[in-house]
A and B are shown apart, each in its own frame.
Chain A
Amino acid sequence: DAGVTQSPTHLIKTRGQQVTLRCSPKSGHDTVSWYQQALGQGPQFIFQYYEEEERQRGNFPDRFSGHQFPNYSSELNVNALLLGDSALYLCASSLEGRIGGGSGETQYFGPGTRLLVL
Chain B
Amino acid sequence: DAKTTQPPSMDCAEGRAANLPCNHSTISGNEYVYWYRQIHSQGPQYIIHGLKNNETNEMASLIITEDRKSSTLILPHATLRDTAVYYCIVRAKTSYDKVIFGPGTSLSVIP
B93 and A105 within 8 A (CB): yes
Docked pose: A112 CA to B41 CA in angstroms: 8
**Can you name the residue of chain B whose Cβ is closest to the Cβ of A29?**
B95
- Partner-A contacts on B (CB < 8 A): 2, 34, 36, 41-46, 49, 87, 93-96, 98-104
Q: Which of A33, A35, A106, A114 is the one whose CB lies under 8 Å from B46?
A: A106
Docked pose: A69 CA to B49 CA in angstroms: 30
- Partner-B contacts on A (CB < 8 A): 4, 31, 33, 35, 41-45, 48, 50, 55-56, 58, 88, 90, 92, 94-97, 99-100, 103, 105-112, 114
Chain A residues lying within 8 Å of B95, measured Cβ to Cβ, are 31, 48, 50, 94-97, 105, 107
Chain A residues lying within 8 Å of B87, measured Cβ to Cβ, are 42
Q: How many A-B residue pairs have CB under 8 A?
A: 66
Identify whether the interface residues of B are mostly helix, strand, loop, or mixed.
loop
A104 to chain B, nearest CB (A): 8
Contact of A110 with B43 at beta-carbon distance under 8 Å, contacts A56-B96, A96-B95 already known:
yes
Docked pose: A114 CA to B101 CA in angstroms: 19
Docked pose: A79 CA to B93 CA in angstroms: 33
Docked pose: A4 CA to B93 CA in angstroms: 20
B4 to chain A, nearest CB (A): 11
